Amino acid sequence: MDKQLNRYRFGNNPAVEEKRGRARLVKILLFTVIFFTLLSGTFYGLSSSLFNLQELVFDGNEALTVRELEEAFPYPTGTNIWQIDLGRVEKTYASLPRTAGARVERRLPRGIHIFLEEKETAAVIPYQGYYYEVAADGTLLGMSSRLPPGGVPMLTELTGLLYRPGENITAAGGELAVSFLQEMGEEAAGISEINAANPNNLIIFTVTGQQIWMGRGDYGAKLRLLPGILAALPGNKGYVDFRALQAPSFVGD
């Protein structure tokens, strides 16, 4: 009797091939269902009124009012939150004179959450009975009828300045003043006025009325040494010439 030959190798049996084919078909159908489910969900999210904008939430704003912030929002109420470009919203708020940066998130189902970092007022400029607040980078933040709480130096003798929020005092020859504002730190509490009339010699006045010629640059180092110098003065009739960091002197009247 002839020996029966098995013509099928391992894994090549028609039943195995049929089983594999069914498994592949199931996978294809499963992926198809998932794809169309995601597609329909995306379409629903982009078109459903359930996600229409109804709420703006702001964090980090102290000087900026909710009304100002709502007016700056670049999309109308009722816009689907999935159609709102968060990057565009961030750029809009980061460009406001009073803000140093912004971060935006969607707040389901109908809100946008905006996190703000405001610039602090480093000095004020008197202007027609009002005060223009100035940030440490020289940006005019806005106008107020009263001095900010805590007390900041008054910046004087800037000519050619355009008095409107967003302008920078460097455009009006305020380069030395900006350098000083960025370096003064905690020493600002002892300064009452910053006079920027001379583009080569910034002059400051202390809260006790002492005049100091600060020259150009090294302001942080000079301010740290200044309390010891002032304590050694016989009086305040005259000025301290501090244009050279290594050679401060007192010039009497």
Q: Mean pLDDT, to the nearest integer, of 229-242?
A: 86
Q: Distance between CA atoms of 87 and 237, rounded to whole angstroms?
A: 57
Give residue 237's pLDDT band: very low, low, confident or very high (50, 70, 90).
confident
Q: Mean pLDDT, to the nearest integer, of 72-88?
A: 94
CATH class of 121-252: alpha beta
Top mean pLDDT of 1-5, 48-52, 86-90, 160-164 is at 86-90
Q: Which CATH architecture has domain 51-118?
A: Roll (3.10)
What is the torsional sign of CA 68, 74, 80, 83?
negative
pTM: 0.74
Q: Distance between CA atoms of 82 and 39, rounded to whole angstroms?
A: 14
> Residue 38 pLDDT > 50, yes or no?
no
> Residue 17 pLDDT > 90, yes or no?
no
pLDDT of the residue at 244:
94
Of the ranges 33-42, 51-60, 100-109, 224-233, which one carries the lowest mean pLDDT score? 33-42
Q: Distance between CA atoms of 180 and 195, rounded to whole angstroms?
A: 11
Q: Identify the DSSP state of 5.
A: P
What is the torsional sign of CA 21, 23, 26, 31?
negative
